[in-house]
Amino acid sequence: MATPHLMIHIVPDKCDFCGCCVGVCPEDAIELKESEIAIIEERCTNCKKCVWACPWDVIEFHRDGINTLPKKLFAIDENQFSKSLSK
């Protein structure tokens, strides 16, 4: 059964959109377009199969749920980015 807290997080910008995770997902809980990927929260049971399947190790499992994760648009930390630019 889908659990109230999603624990699966695909790290933005690191995914290669290969579909290996989709192929093992028993719940049809991953939406994969040409260069977009998303977990369908209502379906995911946090079974971790996608985490194990990812060849590039870019799917994270967070026991406490992913809502606690800081929201970032890009994998690059923007502060870091602007610092390195102003150097």
Give me the residues that bind another protein (CB under 8 A), please.
16, 18-26, 28, 31-34, 49, 52-57
What residues have CB less than 8 Å from 17, skipping those under 6 apart? Answer: 32, 33, 34, 35, 36, 37
**Smallest separation, CB 36 to another protein (Å):** 9
> Is 9 near ligand SF4 (CB under 6 A)?
no
With respect to ligand SF4, which residue has the nearer C-beta, 36 or 77?
Answer: 36
Chain positions 44 to 83 lying near ligand SF4, rule: CB under 6 A, are 44-50, 53-54, 56, 58-59
Using CA atoms, how far apart are residues 75 and 87, in angstroms rounded to an integer? Answer: 20
- Token pair for residue 60? 């994270």
